Amino acid sequence: MSPVENLNYFANLRGIASKTAKSRIEGLIAFFNLESKANEPVKLLSRGMQQKVALAIAMVSDPKVLLLDEPTLGLDIESYFALKEKIRDLSRARGKTILLATHQMNLVDDISEEIVIISDGRVVLKERTEALKRSFEVNRYVIQARGKVNNERLKGLGRFGCVSTSNNKAVATIDLTLSNSHDLFDTLALLKDMNIHILSINKEEPDLEDIFLRLIR
């Protein structure tokens, strides 16, 4: 069956009045950008398009809560981003509560407001996404600089948990973890004293994949 026929079938199965179903189906076809494929057999559509049809079918009864199990698994990059945006829109623009089960930490990071981590059938942690990331935050900075860095002088300050540098002819990369953010200014002063020209400073944000592995271990 085609996307339209599928949607009509499930709308009828769920007892939705034909006038309401027609309006809702037209809206879903437009929302998921399925107009050009609306009357083609679903089995001939791409995996990404099929996932959109599946989501549209789940939406046809206008549920308050959606349960999605690995909805982006196996998709190509373009389809992944398109479907991710539709899931985000369902929550933010259409006010749906979405419970999403996935192993893709980048997807979790991009769209989730709250995270539940499960390992061996038990809940390891339940936390708001931003609060979780803040709790694992470290004062790690990556500095790109021009000039010869004296690594021993950096280590000599004695307050860095980790200092590593890599030099090539043009640019040095300094990767360091500080005891607190105020120590960054001392580091910059020291680099200036070494006649190092700083090109960029980036604070590294905690990675959800790292947080997940630390928690379950």
| Tens-place pLDDT, residues 133-154 | 888 877 778 888 887 777 777 7
Question: What are the b/e assignments for 153-180, b being 16+ CB within 10 Å?
Answer: ebeeeeebeebebeeeeeebbbebebee
Backbone angles phi, psi at 34, to 5 degrees: -105, 10
CB-count burial class (<10 Å; 0-12, 13-18, 19+) for 61: middle
Spell out the domain ranges in the chain: 3-112, 138-205
Which range has highest mean pLDDT (30-44, 87-101, 138-152)? 30-44
* Spatial strand order in the sheet of 160-167: 160-167, 172-178, 139-146, 197-203
Helical H segments across the chain, by residue range: 3-13, 18-31, 47-59, 77-92, 105-111, 129-135, 151-156, 183-193, 208-216
- Predicted TM-score (pTM) of this structure: 0.64
Give residue 37's pLDDT.
93
Query: How long is the chain?
Result: 217
- The pLDDT tens digits of the residues spanning 54-93 come to 989 998 999 999 999 998 888 888 888 888 888 888 888 8
Q: What is the CATH number of domain 138-205?
A: 3.30.70.260
Mean residue pLDDT across the chain? 85
Give residue 78's pLDDT.
84
| Domain 3-112 indexed as CATH 3.40.50.300 | yes
Mean pLDDT confidence for 176-183: 74
Give residue 161's pLDDT.
47
